[in-house]
Amino acid sequence: MLASLREEVAAANRRLVAEGLVTLTWGNVSGIDRAQGIFAIKPSGIPYAELSAESIVLVDLEGKVVQGDLRPSSDAPTHRVLYLAFDAIGGITHTHSPFATMFAQAGRALPCLGTTHADHFLGPVPLCRALTPEEVREDYETNTGKVIAAEFAGRDPLSMPAVLQHYHAPFTWGGSAMESVDNSVALEACARLAAGSWRLGLDPLSSGLPSHLLEKHFFRKHGCAAYYGQK
């Protein structure tokens, strides 16, 4: 089971390059085996083309490396906190994809302006607050996860599988490592469409997609009443 997880996580990380979501080594994907309480994650600073299943690092939910000769991603503590906070997720992706990161740097939530966005995200993608100087000094990566988890208190992370961290970049998640990459692809596409809509003259303060269209497009693809695709 852990061998197949490492294979999937290696492939998911390599896919970041194919999807145009990363520059240099600015991103990582992880996936978790819930039964064993172990997640697999990209090693820190290793080029994606050099990744193999054997190079993927296994980390337990206490943050201890349990298998692998390389150091795990510096974002591993953030992933660990999110796995503990969101027990329904099976994979996490962090990138600095251009358009989503523009929104994060600008301190803007990503509004839902059309049905393309609504097909994937149930409303605006939230912006979580920047870390305080004390939080950065104490444990930057762990506190990044805690700030994201706090932003999602009372919110279903599967209905909104993405967040923008102020001044930083996006995080996405899903039922598996590959699904979390799907959500990163969708987030970047929606951010690009929103920025383009504003350039074409849409009022940035527009209320966006009406709720009846938002709910129709989201729930025809998600949930027990979904009818998009094949059973």
**Residue 119 falls in the annotated catalytic set:** yes
Burial of 111 (0-12, 13-18, 19+ CB in 10 A): buried
Instruction: For residue 185, give the amino acid letter.
Output: V
152 C-beta neighbours (distance < 10 Å), count = 16
Q: Identify any residues that bridge with 60 across adjacent strands, giving them in sequence order.
A: 38
Distance separating alpha carbons of residues 200 and 139, to the nearest angstrom: 42
Q: Which of 60, 119, 139, 140 is flagged as catalytic?
A: 119
Q: Which residues contact 64 (CB under 8 A, 6 or more apart)?
A: none
**Residue 228 falls in the annotated catalytic set:** yes
Q: Which residues contact 164 (CB under 8 A, 6 or more apart)?
A: 100, 103, 104, 108, 109, 110, 125, 126, 127, 128, 170
CB distance 85 to 170 below 8 Å: no
Closest CA to 82 of 12, 165, 168: 165
CB distance 26 to 95 below 8 Å: yes
Closest CA to 77 of 123, 44, 118, 35: 44
Please give the positions annotated as active site.
Answer: 119, 228
